[in-house]
Amino acid sequence: MLGRIAFTAAMMLGLVATANAQDADPAAGKTYAEQVCAQCHAVQAGEDLSSAAGATPFQEVANTPGMTEYALSVWLQSSHPTMPNIVLEQDELRNVIAYIRSLDRTQ
């Protein structure tokens, strides 16, 4: 019984560790954003005009107070009427979030 609990705890720690943004790759996230998100969003640093109406430029997303890694990951894993449901792999998700966070000028 105890062994089972310890195993579950170890599994959960493992999951938390993989979700940790520290090993995310913002450069790969940028490439991904240019390929997938740039259809609608302005994805470059300092760019403030998105191609699709209503799609917030990533610079602005990054500067938004409270737009943390957590908030971004919740947003990107839930569905939105005006944004297609893009299914991101866990590593792509982490990389894109790391890229957006890297644009933050308010820090």
| Residue ranges binding ligand HEC (CB under 6 A) | 33, 36-37, 39-41, 52, 54-56, 61, 72, 75-76, 80, 82-84, 86, 88, 96
Query: Residue 40 or 45: which CB sits closer to ligand HEC?
Result: 40
Query: Residue 3 or 65: which CB sits closer to ligand HEC?
Result: 65
Query: Residue 5 or 89: which CB sits closer to ligand HEC?
Result: 89
Number of neighbours of residue 15 by Cβ within 10 angstroms: 10
User: Distance between alpha carbon 68 and the CA centroid of its chain, in Å?
Assistant: 9
Taking the C-alpha atoms of residue 30 and residue 83, their distance in angstroms, rounded to an integer, is 19
Number of neighbours of residue 5 by Cβ within 10 angstroms: 9
Q: How far is the CB of 66 from ligand HEC (least distance, A)?
A: 10
